[in-house]
Structure formats: structure tokens, C-alpha cells
Amino acid sequence: MSNNPPVARLPKPNGLQLIRSLVGGTVGISLIAWLSNFTEYEWLMAPFGATCVLLFAIPDAPLAQPRNVIGGHLIAAFVGLLFFQFGWDSSFGMGLAVGLAIALMMATQTIHPPAGANPIVVLLSAKMGWSFLFFPVLIGAAALVLVAIVVNNIGRPVRWPRYWW
């Protein structure tokens, strides 16, 4: 028998919450994918799918606030780009990049778990330049936050976001 205290489960979502998560994830990722059609940049990256889970399934969690979404993605992508520029793309380098990104997100209080994948995305692509910080990271994260502002405030007594910065 474990001495660990019980962990609370998330409450069962109601119909409106399910619809908000469906619409938010659909519109958010569709918007970012659509941007790729009209620019020279590839805007879509897998961590944004995980960001949508936080933004639309548990929007009141600290990890789903704009500060964490935007700041976490920027910090982690910066670390990945720094490692890429120095050629530290070995197995250990990838691990160190993720570890450093986590430590920096913790130190800056911008923890956003999906962003932990950003250094891996950068290092595996082997072609990222510093513009990656803006296209897709900053603009993509901001676009998801904007979609969340609209979707997460439909039919809710509590306004989203809970805090900005």
C-alpha cells in the first residue's frame, strides 16, 4: 500500500466544454496550417497540438496561460536554436537542450510542457534559422492564444486568461 496522498482527477467535462475543446483545437491548428499556405514558412509543428490540449481542455491551469504558452515556446525554441548553431545535435546534446529548456522555463515561471519538444524539433530538422523564433514559434503560439481568448470565454462565468504575464 502506497503512502502517497490521492491525486484528484479532472472533473468530467460538460457538453459546452467538449464543444469548446473541439472548436478550439480545430480552429487553432487549422489557422496555423492555413498560414503555411500563404507564406514561405512552415508554421505547423507537433508541439502546437499538445499546446491545444492544455489551452482547450484545461484552460485555467497555470501551464495554459499566455505567459506560459508564449514564453515557454520561445525559451525552448531559443535553446534548440542555440544548440543547433553550435552543432550540439548529438544524443546527449538533444537531452541537454531539453533539460536546459526545462530549467529555464522553471526559472522564468513559464513552464509549458509541449514546449519541451521544441529543442528536439529544431535539432532534428537540421535546417532551422533564427527566424524560427518568430515563424512559427512566436506567431503560432500567439495565434493559439488569440483563438483561446475567443473560444475559452464562450459561456463561461470565469474569464480566460486567468493572468497575462
Does any domain span residue 164? no
Tell me how many domains the chain contains: 1
Does any domain span residue 112? yes
Which pLDDT value is given to residue 134?
A: 94
Does any domain span residue 11? no
Distance between CA atoms of 4 and 164, rounded to whole angstroms?
A: 34
Identify the band that residue 1 occupies on the pLDDT scale cut at 50, 70 and 90. low
Domain interval for residue 137: 16-151
pLDDT at 68 over 70: yes
Give the residue-averaged pLDDT of 49-67: 98
**Tens-digit pLDDT profile for residues 13-35:** 999 999 999 999 999 999 999 99
**Tens-digit pLDDT profile for residues 94-153:** 999 999 999 999 999 999 999 999 999 999 998 889 999 999 999 999 999 999 999 999
